[in-house]
Structure 1
Amino acid sequence: MFRRMKLGRQILLCVVVVQCAGLALGATTLVRNAREAVEVEIAASEQSARAMVLAAVGATLRDGASRDVMTRLSEIIVEPRHVDIVLLDAQSGPVNVRPAVAEEDEMGAVPDWFTRLVEPRPRETRIPVRANGTVHGFVTMTTAPADEIAEVWKDATKLIWIVMATVLLQVLLLGFLVRRALGPLDALRAAMRRLRDGDLAARVARPASRDLAPIFEGFNALTEGLARADTERARLARRVVELGDDERRAIAMELHDEFGPCLFGLKVKASALLRGARASGDAKRAADAEAILEIVEQIQASNARLLTTLRPMAIGQLPLLEAVADLFDAFRRTHPDIDWDVHLPADLPRTHESVDLTVYRFFQEATTNALRHGTPDRIRAELAADASDLLLVVEDDGSGIAADADEGRGLTGMRDRIGSLGGQLAIGRGAGGGARLDARMPQEVPAARGLALAVAS
Structure 2
Amino acid sequence: MTLKLRLNLIITALLLVVMFAGAYLSLNNARQNAHAEVVSAEKLVLYLFDTAILNDPNLAQRKLATNGFHLQQLKHMRHLKIELIDSMGKVIDSNQTQDGQTFQNEAPAWFERLLNQLTEQWEPSVRKLEYQGIILGELVITPDPTYEYAEKWKQITDLLTLVLIFFVLVNLMVMWAVSQALKPTNKILDALNELENGNLAARLPAFKLPELSRIGEKFNRMVEKLQLSILQNHKLTQQLITLQEEERKNLARELHDEFGQCLTAINTDASVISKVADKKYPELKESAIAISQLSKHLIDMVSGLLQQLRPGILDELGLALALQDLVDTWKSRHKNIACEIKISGINEDLSEAISVAIYRLVQESLTNVARHAEASKVNIEVFKLTQSGKDGLQVMVKDNGKGFLAEQSSGFGLPGMRERVEGLGGSFNIQSSNGTEINAWIAIKPY
**TM-score normalised by length of structure 2:** 0.85
- For 1:131, the equivalent position in structure 2 comes to 131
8 Å contact from structure 2 (residues 401, 436) kept in 1: no
SS at match of 1:203: coil
Seen in structure 2, the aligned counterparts of structure 1 residues 239 and 403 have a Cα distance that, compared at 3 Å, is: closer
Contact kept in structure 2, 1:425 and 1:437, CA below 8 Å: no
State which drifts further: 192-201 or 72-81: 72-81
Distance 1:407 1:335, change over 3 A: same
Q: Cα 1:234–1:138, aligned 2, differ >3 Å: closer, same or farther?
A: same
**Which position in structure 1 is the counterpart of 2:69?**
74
How far apart, CA to CA, are the structure 2 residues paired with 1:154 and 1:402? Answer: 73
Aligned to 1:148: 148
2: distance between equivalents of 1:166 and 1:195? 44
For residues 93 and 38 of structure 1, do their structure 2 counterparts lie closer, same or farther at Cα, with a shift above 3 Å needed? same
In the TM superposition, residue 347 of structure 1 has moved relative to its aligned partner by 5.6
Question: What is the CA deviation profile of residues 415-447 of structure 1, one whole-angstrom value per residue up to 9, with x for unaligned ones?
Answer: 3222322333433347xx5x3232222250424
For residues 77-116 of structure 1, what are the structure 2 equivalents within 5 Å?
79=74, 80-90=77-87, 93-96=90-93, 106-116=103-113
Structure 1 counterpart SS, 2:416: helix
Q: Which amino acid aligns with 1:379?
A: V
Specify which of 33, 58, 73 is matched with residue 29 of structure 2: 33
- Quick check: 367-376 or 238-247, which moved more? 367-376
SS at match of 2:312: coil
Contact kept in structure 1, 2:130 and 2:137, CA below 8 Å: yes
Kindly tell me: are residues 74 and 402 of structure 1, through their superposed partners in 2, closer, same or farther at Cα, counting changes over 3 Å?
closer
Q: Tell me, in whole angstroms, the C-alpha distance in 1 between the residues paired with 2:25 and 2:10.
A: 22
Q: Contact 2:397 / 2:437 at 8 angstroms: preserved in 1?
A: yes
Supply the distance in 1 between the matched residues of 2:322 and 2:228 (Cα, whole angstroms).
37
Structure 1 Cα separation of the partners of residues 341 and 354 of structure 2: 19
- The match for 1:163 is 163
The one-letter code of the counterpart of 1:344 is K
Partner residue in 2 for 1:362: 361
Distance 1:48 1:194 in 2: 83
Identity among equivalent positions (%) equals 27
TM-score by length of 1: 0.83
After TM superposition, list the pairs within 5 Å mapping 1:344-423 onto structure 2: 344-345=342-343, 348-350=346-348, 351-387=350-386, 388-401=391-404, 405-423=408-426
Cα 1:141–1:182 shift into 2, 3 Å:
same
Q: Which runs of 5+ in 1 are unaligned?
A: 448-457
User: What SS does structure 2 have at the residue aligned with 1:344?
Assistant: strand
Q: Evaluate the alpha carbon distance shift between residue 184 and residue 397 of structure 1 in structure 2; reply closer, same or farther with a 3 A threshold.
A: closer
The aligned counterpart of 1:328 is 327
Distance 1:444 1:310, change over 3 A: same
Deviation at 1:78, TM superposition (A): 6.3
Contact 1:277 1:285 in 2 (8 A): yes
Match in the other structure for 1:225: 225
**Distance in 2, Cα, partners of 1:331 & 1:232:** 36
Contact kept? 2:277, 2:285, Cα under 8 Å = yes
Unaligned runs of 5+ in 2: none
The 3-state SS of whatever aligns with 1:137 is strand
Residues 114, 107 of structure 1: alpha-carbon distance in 2 compared, 3 angstrom cutoff: farther
CA contact (8 A) 1:389 1:440 kept: no
Separation in structure 1 between the aligned mates of residue 409 and residue 392 of structure 2, nearest angstrom: 29
Contact 1:355 1:445 in 2 (8 A): no
Checking the alignment, whether the CA contact within 8 Å between 1:56 and 1:73 is kept in structure 2 is: no
Deviation at 1:227, TM superposition (A): 1.6
Asked if the contact 1:421/1:441 (under 8 Å) is kept, the reply is no
Cα displacement string for residues 249-308 of structure 1 (whole angstroms, at most 9, x for unaligned residues): 1111122223333434444555555566666x2456666655544443333222211111
Does the 8 A contact of 1:83 with 1:142 survive in 2? yes
Contact 2:399/2:437 (<8 A) preserved: no
Which sits farther off after the overlay, 286-295 or 176-185?
A: 286-295
- Asked whether the 8 Å contact 1:70–1:137 carries over to 2, the reply is no
SS of corresponding position for 2:82: strand
Q: Deviation at 1:409?
A: 4.8
Post-superposition Cα deviations, 1:150-194, rounded to whole Å, max 9, x if no partner, equal: 332333333333333333333333333322323322322222232
How far is the alpha carbon of 1:24 from its aligned partner?
Answer: 0.6
The 8 Å contact of residues 70 and 89 in structure 1, kept in 2 or not, is answered as no
For 2:379, the aligned partner's letter is R
* 1:113-141, Cα deviation, whole Å (9 max, x unpaired): 33333345443122211222211111111
Number of residue-to-residue matches in the alignment: 433
Contact kept, 8 Å, 2:67 with 2:93, in 1: the verdict is: no
Deviation at 1:108, TM superposition (A): 2.8
AA partner of residue 117 (structure 1): L
Bigger mean CA deviation after superposition, 309-318 or 366-375: 366-375
User: How far off its partner does 1:353 sit?
Assistant: 2.5
1:201-259 Cα offsets, whole Å, 9 max, x none, are: 22222322223333332222222222222212222222221111111111111222233
Matched, 1:46 2:46: no
Change (3 A) 1:166 1:337: closer
1:428 aligned residue: 431
Measure, in 1, the Cα distance between the counterparts of 2:363 and 2:293: 30
Shift in CA distance, 444/389, structure 1 to aligned 2, threshold 3 Å = closer
d(CA) in 2 for partners of 1:159 and 1:190? Answer: 46
What is the CA–CA distance in structure 2 between the aligned matches of 1:199 and 1:347, rounded to whole Å? Answer: 26
Q: Distance in 2 between matches of 1:249 and 1:158?
A: 93
Report the Cα offset of residue 14 of structure 1.
Answer: 0.3
CA shift in 2, pair 1:410/1:67, >3 Å: closer
Listed as ranges, the matches of 1:290-309 within 5 Å are: 290-309=289-308
